[in-house]
Amino acid sequence: MIKKTINLNGVSKMLLADPESSLAEVIREQFGLTGTKVGCGKGQCGACSVIMNGKLVKSCMTKIKRVQDGAYVTTIEGFGTPTDLHPLQLAWVVHGGAQCGFCSPGFIVSAKALLDENINPTRDQVRDWFHKNRNACRCTGYKPLVDAVMDAAKVLRGEMTKTELAFKLPEDGRIWGTNYPRPTAIAKVTGTIDYGADLIAKMPAGTLHLALAQAKVSHAKILSIDTSEAEKMPGVEKVITHKDVKGKNRITGLITFPTNKGDGWDRPILCDEKVFQFGDAIAIVAADTEAHARAAADKVKVNLEQLPAYMSAPAAMADDAIEIHPGTPNVYYEQKRAKGADTGPVMKSAASVVEGEYYLQRQPHLTMEPDVGFAYFDEDGCLTIHSKSIGIYLHHAMICPGLGIEPEKLRLVQNPAGGTFGYKFSPTMEALVGVAAMATNKPVALKYDYYQHITYTGKRSPFFVNLKYGADKDGKIVAMEGDWIVDHGPYSEFGDLLTVRGAQFIGAGYGIPNIRGVGKTVCTNHAWGSAFRAYGSPQSFFASESLMDELAAKMGKDPLELRYLNVYRPGDTTPTGQTPDGYSFPEMIDKLRPMYKEALELAKKESTPELKKGVGVSIGIYGCGLDGPDSSEVWVELTPDGVTLSSSWEDHGQGADIGALGTCHEGLRPLGISPDKIKLVMNDTALVPNSGPSGGSRQQVMTGNAIKVGCEMLVNAMRKSDGTFRTYDEMKAENIPLKYSGKWTASMCTPCDENGQGNPFPVYMYGVFMAQVAVDTKTGKTKVENFTVMADIGKINNKLAVDGQIYGGVAQGIGLALSEDFEDLSKHTSLVDCGLPYTKDIPDNFKIIYFENPREHGPFGAAGVGELPLTSPHAAVINGIYNATGVRIRQAPALPEKVLAGLKALG
Amino acid sequence: MIKKTINLNGVSKMLLADPESSLAEVIREQFGLTGTKVGCGKGQCGACSVIMNGKLVKSCMTKIKRVQDGAYVTTIEGFGTPTDLHPLQLAWVVHGGAQCGFCSPGFIVSAKALLDENINPTRDQVRDWFHKNRNACRCTGYKPLVDAVMDAAKVLRGEMTKTELAFKLPEDGRIWGTNYPRPTAIAKVTGTIDYGADLIAKMPAGTLHLALAQAKVSHAKILSIDTSEAEKMPGVEKVITHKDVKGKNRITGLITFPTNKGDGWDRPILCDEKVFQFGDAIAIVAADTEAHARAAADKVKVNLEQLPAYMSAPAAMADDAIEIHPGTPNVYYEQKRAKGADTGPVMKSAASVVEGEYYLQRQPHLTMEPDVGFAYFDEDGCLTIHSKSIGIYLHHAMICPGLGIEPEKLRLVQNPAGGTFGYKFSPTMEALVGVAAMATNKPVALKYDYYQHITYTGKRSPFFVNLKYGADKDGKIVAMEGDWIVDHGPYSEFGDLLTVRGAQFIGAGYGIPNIRGVGKTVCTNHAWGSAFRAYGSPQSFFASESLMDELAAKMGKDPLELRYLNVYRPGDTTPTGQTPDGYSFPEMIDKLRPMYKEALELAKKESTPELKKGVGVSIGIYGCGLDGPDSSEVWVELTPDGVTLSSSWEDHGQGADIGALGTCHEGLRPLGISPDKIKLVMNDTALVPNSGPSGGSRQQVMTGNAIKVGCEMLVNAMRKSDGTFRTYDEMKAENIPLKYSGKWTASMCTPCDENGQGNPFPVYMYGVFMAQVAVDTKTGKTKVENFTVMADIGKINNKLAVDGQIYGGVAQGIGLALSEDFEDLSKHTSLVDCGLPYTKDIPDNFKIIYFENPREHGPFGAAGVGELPLTSPHAAVINGIYNATGVRIRQAPALPEKVLAGLKALG
């Protein structure tokens, strides 16, 4: 133990710590200042940034023994308070800088250090600062953060007051369609919101800390597990293996497709007979401290017989490949698509035919917050599991039999989540902490470090797509055919559904009359396939939007005009045969056309042999909802203080709070209540009804409609004959119910049939993307210099939230296009190595133009938004590279070496 | 475990806790908001006050299961920040509201709740509020707190700005003699200073928590100790008994008086052969949590043979009493006092003789913070003990052999202390945590609850004094004789020294030529005698100042004038034969006289048969220093940033920080540096030299002089021939030493000899007290309505600090006079039952008049201050009761039943 004195946030404090511990640990776990977050744990994310003796430092990388005695340390808690925000914090709120919010304290601290040096920075200086200091954000695309710093600097320079900067409620009191900040924003920018690790730091004494003993190979038979040495390690309470699991020890994939050859019971909670992928959990150590648990986990000995590891779909499909799950073929699901006439003859008579093979990589989610969860028995004896779950009721069903607990004794709660982007559709953490709490009968907590987070959470499943278009002489596509193969990793969870998405989105946006093909779901030993924003569509559009450009090139047509010719118009149907719920593509392209032309001219003008510039476009579509007649329920209740809305609108960071609040406030407008009178109760199966999971941009539509219904019921109950409304007391006096269940089901939808035909979604989102790129022909490195999005997401609930979704989604698309991957288990193990885009990797010149065409089935005309910006922006970038250089990248990402190789091949 | 949502300081937080835990525990231990303090743990001190849903609540008494879901909770952390104080916090700083500071957060929260209800309260409304809400303060006498609330309310009403309220540095930059706020004030009012329990809450994971198995009887032989059941309890690491103590298992009393019949090795760290008093520590359980440790401590079984318990000196002195420490007589020390001629003949010829027997009770310290400590091995392998020690070097010597560690491997550190008033002169806690750290080789922490704090810390030792004055016909005292008996409890620590204090202070202030008597130190089985503010003098003056009034009554003289006649004038000597260092009594009484006459008239006018009013006076004296040639050392070092002052000026709460800073700043005035450039390094034996303990008001004189010397050495070294000063760089360039050891020894002093004669102190403090009391003749209850202090403490270093010392010391004197006691082990176990004064028990009409006569041997003319206000204020109150009612109380405290009995006896 070492004793030092530090001045922490303006006060001299005695510090007692292990000299080897990090400043972040001491600040968080000892001083309880959990505003300083630990993301990557290796200085690549900046979430742990603090100012020490005037310099910005990464506290996770700063050992206490290196902290100078008497050092001045400022954390986010040393800035403003929730009731008196620092100008940077206020600007962050006003500009939507905090989405998931996990990076916000680190960014704000970093920005403070910059402004302490330079109170009048340019946008580029701000961007340089964040880039060089490795402040990473996965939600916002960085632009809103730069906007916030610029405004905060104005306030600090005295050129603007905080009052001028702050959001002002419109005179009519309506927040729908405004920049009303999300309710959690203040807690996020002040570092006072508690994410999972923060909650763990605040759990009562006696909570056990867990560590996993994990597989270090990708495929093996387990011969024996020896926990004896681990059990003797200091602080160990119990070493838990599959033998301690009271239930079926399986996470069920809830298979609903009858043609799936698996049964969905393929995923062990704790490995028993086999290891299916690298990182698989074999044992859990429960100990008094995390350090003790981890040390003991290293002592669990597993005797294995290694089996051939199939690290991609082709390998697992090989004739000699053994069945990964014995009894289930590695290709366990096939989805046909057949629309219109047989494509064979049509292709033959087509004026022009193009074909290509495309591979979209295993994109990692790279959330700032690593996975985390905890569990305990509540006061009613219910096993209560807290996690980042974005489907608390879904996960309840998926893990209940495996744990072996009565359903009514299992409670799931979502903690504030530092980003999920879909990976938390998989209930791995939930099952593990549940097992441990049941085995120890004590509160238990599990935190992944970032290595575990990358290597042992699901990933976007790669698609291998072989696609062919046949077009008439004008370029109108008359037939599409081709197959797609989905490398879904070892676990079946929703692998069939993902394969269906190929049938729904490959070639979507165009009125193609004749389609044929088949998709296959393949079991492999690489990372299991999990949900990821725009689920299935980036893979689909990478093929169909790349091939569209190839068709244009072949026919000598302009890629934008070729799209204009083909996009949905009345009479067209989607690839599943559904009538689109809108035809906004032509107007979007009309709007884009002059900008596109200008961009092309600029690229031409600015291109040099060393730096070639180009412009790429793509279109994107996504459906709002799960497949078919999706539904949601919420409760709307009048209280003495206002109205309480209860829902399980889970939050990835997208803004479930403002989504729910904005919709509810609009639904209650007849009552004229202010937004602060609406209390949100969210994401606890003991407290809220089943609103369904947060995936597929469904919540604004499904739960939004349920809220609308619930609000209507309440408003109608409160309405008097003279048109005025009863008060709470009057309602009580007249014995009128106060609480209403708002339910909504997308009854106009059907699932897709064996030919992939049906009406799977009630509402769609439409977008057109334009990327302006510059390719360094010496290095092959591509930079996106400008990005433009045309978006029709229906009526906008909250402008800040949808802007943020689009900026952030496109940023992930740029990463997908250029750098992100999780393929090499020995290399792709950190944010940097996985290709996370930093500030200067995302353009500051970023324009969004909305087309607010109201949706018939969307509440108050709204569609969803979250998936749209990641449907196909990467295709626009890839098409831009072609436009700039003539190099066609068909295997994403377009790493510099691939582009260089392409340039070389072109001579 | 229970899950709730609370809005904590403006932010919605998820709360996970044991439903039986208190809100205070959850706020402190889980949320890490240690600004909320836990003092008494039963709602009697208000240190844990928070605002919940608009109401002031005691968080230590509020169980989590009773906290409403969604409750709004505001703690001190929800107010201002160190850099932007709330007006209440600023006012607390400006008015010296935070001395030890432990009660400050609770008071400020309480005041906020008041001002939320009533923004314009009267002083009486503020006093009513604090009184009814049981906000207790042991340092300030409450008046500065009321001043602070009144000013904060002005700011909140917009009648004053924070800038107007704030302290302003004088133009000459000199802080000596000003209201410059103490350096720790801001941390104290914001709840960000860490006291022992706060530091423990912030220690690294793996720290063991200790609990004591304690004796439940007062005197017994130990037959056996069975720890087997305790060892099997959950979470237990080790059960430690005397067998685990590596050293002599004794805390040595450092006996220096050769006539002491004991050897000072009487006090076990952990009982081995005998139990000597209730609460004695028999075993220590080290476990993972405090709850586990306490549960296991209850399972330690001790087989005892009970022995007769001697609960007072007379009982222990009885002929048939056995020796408490076999081999040492229960009366183990005697101190003769013999000055001038034999008093027998003088008494015979005296015109008037009065005699009385007086008993001053076992006053409890009643600090707001219960005792606390922890220990660990530092990075150099030194056993490092943190506690509230007010004598880190002294305690080092007292516990080192008992622990059995090399002196150079033992390090002591004082934590910020929530009040000691002297009890921390005893190193009980230090030895216990030291033993536990050595036995477990891990960091260990021990917190007493308030019951333990009261029952197992030292107390003021009662004196039984038999005193006689002989006076000439004018009332001039010509002889004093009488014996005094000190009930010192079972442990010899400084019992001899305390007995010497009787010889020094009984009759002090008067030039009495002939004195005889003997004091005896008696070993008993009641609470051990520990240091307490004004050590020995309240017992002494209770006798001599009561008897003075009795003499006046007998002679029909005015008590003030009789004193005026007798007080020191040139030619007089003290009871030890020393020439006083000042003769300010006559001028103080001259100043008091008109006020005294007015008070007498007012009392007469206002008295009714139901409420009798009266006025009492007393004089008080205390010496600054330990006995004899006391000394101190400090280091003064020039650094690139300013000057660093290193000292062990320990802080009870009195203001060691401002004492050291003010003196150092004055010493460095030639350099013209601002106070914020002086860095204080304090109270860690590894970092600072031995400045001696903080007791006997010695630090301002001894360490103050050492600082003065050190500063002179540095200033002289920096001075150039032209009178200007070298910079740090110039000093370095010229290779002139930067660091100077300032040492000072009171070489003009001698210890007292076998007749109690000598020059024990270099500097004295002088005071005159006047109490205006009202006695309810129906209930016997006495209320002090006005209090006036004439104080000569030399030149004043910091006005805020000395005001605070005097207000607080007198408040303890009023408690001593009227209510405080620790006698009944079954009753005197809480703040209320021990008679702590609350706000309305201390008068708001409280005047201090200073006579700043510079002291020859005080640095810059300063004496000490801390002991003066508790020398004899209680005697003024007791004399006031006599003046009001004719009832003479000779056994303190003057409880209502005693006064009633007195009234009855008078008829």
Check pLDDT > 90 for residue A257.
no
Q: Round to whole Å and give the CA distance between B766 and B764.
A: 7
The answer to whether the Cβ–Cβ distance between B82 and A9 falls below 8 Å is yes
- Check B11 against A377: CB less than 8 A apart: no
Return the closest-CA partner of residue A370 out of A61, A100, A654, A28. A100
Half-sphere exposure of B753 (CA within 13 A, CB side): 7
* pLDDT reported for residue A391: 98
Q: What is the 3-state secondary structure (H, E, C) of B334-385?
A: EEEEEECCCHHHHHHHCCEEEEEEEEECCCCCCCCCCCEEEEEECCCCCEEE
Report yes or no: A63 at the B interface, CB cutoff 8 Å. no
**Other CB atoms within 10 A of residue B729 CB:** 9
Task: Check whether B815 has a pLDDT greater than 80.
Answer: yes
Largest CA distance in chain B: 85
Most A CBs within 10 Å, among B8, B16, B639, to test the A interface: B16
Q: What percent of chain A has pLDDT over 90?
A: 99
Classify the phi-psi angles of B832: left when phi > 0, otherwise alpha if psi is within -120 to 50, otherwise beta: alpha
Q: How many CB pairs under 8 A join A and B?
A: 134
Q: Around Cβ B886, how many Cβ atoms within 10 Å?
A: 14
Residues 6+ apart with CB under 8 A from A392: A412, A413, A414, A648, A650, A683, A684, A685, A693
- Dihedral of the CA atoms B253, B256, B261, B267 (nearest 10)? 10
**Element (H or E) spanning A826, and its range?**
none
**pLDDT (tens digit, 9 = 90+) per residue, B367-388?**
999 999 999 999 999 999 999 9
Q: What percent of chain A has pLDDT over 70?
A: 100
pLDDT, position A209 = 98
The partner residue sitting opposite B194, judged by closest CB among A10, A13, A203, is A13
Nearest to A264 by CA among A487, A490, A457: A490
The verdict on B376 touching A (C-beta cutoff 8 Å) is yes
Among candidate residues A47, A42, A10, A5, the one with its CA nearest the CA of residue A28: A47
Mean pLDDT confidence for B441-451 = 98
CA nearest A398: which of A267, A215, A225?
A: A267
**Structure confidence at residue B439 (pLDDT):** 98
- What is the mean pLDDT of the segment spanning A185-196? 98
Q: What is the pTM of this model?
A: 0.95
Three-class DSSP category at A250:
strand
Cβ atoms of residues B450 and B422 within 8 Å: no
Measured distance CA(A292)–CA(A295) in Å, rounded:
5
Q: Of B21, B204, B288, which is closest to A18 when you measure between CB atoms? A: B204
B845 phi and psi, to 5 degrees?
-85, 95
Report residue B635: phi and psi, to 5°. -120, 135
Apex A504 CA angle, A502 and A509, nearest 5: 115
pLDDT at B302 over 90: yes
ipTM beyond 0.90?
yes
Q: Under an 8 A CB cutoff, do B288 and A30 touch?
A: no
Residue B591: helix, strand or coil by DSSP?
helix
SS3 A652: coil
Average pLDDT over residues A786-807: 98
Helices (H), B668-698: none
Contact (Cβ atoms closer than 8 angstroms) between residue B241 and residue B283: yes
Report how far residue A692's alpha carbon sits from residue A700's, in angstroms, rounded to the nearest whole number. 11
- What is the 8-class DSSP label of residue B676? G
Contacts B89 to A, Cβ<8 Å: none
Q: Which helix (H) or strand (E) holds B453?
A: helix B450-455
Torsion sign across C-alpha atoms B459, B465, B471, B477? negative
B556 in reach of chain A (CB within 8 A):
no
Which residues of A participate in catalysis according to the annotation?
A: 867
Smallest CA-to-CA distance from B368 within B865, B878, B831, B848 is with: B831
* Contact state of B83 with A10 under an 8 Å Cβ cutoff: yes
**Average pLDDT for residues A719-743, to the nearest whole number?**
98
What DSSP assignment string belongs to B701-728?
HHHHHHHHHHHHHHHHHHB-TTS-B--H
pLDDT tens digits, B322-332 = 999 999 999 99
Closest-CA residue to A703 (of A737, A767, A640, A655) = A655
Report whether pLDDT(A156) > 80: yes
Mean pLDDT for all residues in chain B:
97
CA A774 to CA A881: how far, in whole Å? 8
Average pLDDT, chain A: 97
Reported as a single tens digit per residue, the pLDDT across A327-361 is 999 999 999 999 999 999 999 999 999 999 999 99
Count of helices and strands (H, E) across chain A: 25, 30
Residue in A65, A186, A199, A202 to test binding to B, most B beta-carbons within 10 Å: A202
Tens digit of each residue's pLDDT (9 = 90 or more) over B628-672: 999 999 999 999 999 999 999 999 999 999 999 999 999 999 999
CB contact under 8 A, B30 and A415: no
Q: Distance between CA B32 and CA B192 in Å, rounded?
A: 11
CA dist., res. A33 & res. A191, Å (int): 8
pLDDT (average), residues B112-135: 98
Are the beta carbons of B784 and B877 closer than 8 angstroms?
yes
What does the pLDDT read at residue B403? Answer: 98
String of DSSP letters for A560-577 = HHHHHHHB--TT---TTS
Q: Does residue B155 contact residue B162 with C-beta atoms inside 8 Å?
A: yes
Determine the 3-state secondary structure of B841 from DSSP: helix
Using the structure block, give the residue that is written with the tokens 């010899």. B492
Give the dihedral sign, CA A537/A542/A548/A551: negative
Task: List the strands of the sheet with B55-58, edge to edge.
Answer: B11-17, B2-8, B72-74, B49-52, B55-58
Judged against a pLDDT cut of 80, whether residue A256 lies above it is answered with no
A144 close to A802: Cβ distance less than 8 angstroms = no
pLDDT of residue B256 exceeding 80: no
Residue B43 · residue B60 · CB < 8 Å: yes
- DSSP state string for B386-449: EE--S-HHHHHHHHHHHHT--GGGEEEEEPP-S--TTGGGS-HHHHHHHHHHHHHSS-EEEE--
**Using 50, 70 and 90 to split pLDDT, how confident is the model at B674?**
very high
Over residues B512-516, mean pLDDT: 98
| pLDDT number for residue B255 | 79
pLDDT in tens, A534-560: 999 999 999 999 999 999 999 999 999
* Confidence category of residue B257, pLDDT binned at 50, 70, 90: confident
Q: What b/e readout covers A467-481, taking b as 16+ CB neighbours within 10 angstroms?
A: bbbbbeeebbbbbbb
- What is the edge-to-edge ordering of all strands in the sheet holding A678-682? A678-682, A642-647, A631-639, A739-745
A578-637: pLDDT as tens digits: 999 999 999 999 999 999 999 999 999 999 999 999 999 999 999 999 999 999 999 999
User: Nearest residue of B to residue A412 by CA position?
Assistant: B3
What pLDDT shows up at residue A255? Answer: 79
What residues of chain A lie within 8 A of the CB of B81, using their CB? Answer: 9-10, 78, 81
Which of A7, A12, A36, A444 is the best substitution to test chain B (most B C-beta atoms within 10 A)?
A12
* % of chain B at pLDDT higher than 70: 100
Q: Tell me: the pLDDT tens digits for B196-229?
A: 999 999 999 999 999 999 999 999 999 999 999 9
What would the pLDDT profile of A407-463 be if each residue is shown by its tens digit? 999 999 999 999 999 999 999 999 999 999 999 999 999 999 999 999 999 999 999
Q: How far is it, in rounded angstroms, from Cα B105 to Cα B202?
A: 19
Measured in whole angstroms, the distance separating CA A593 from the mean position of its chain's CA atoms is 31
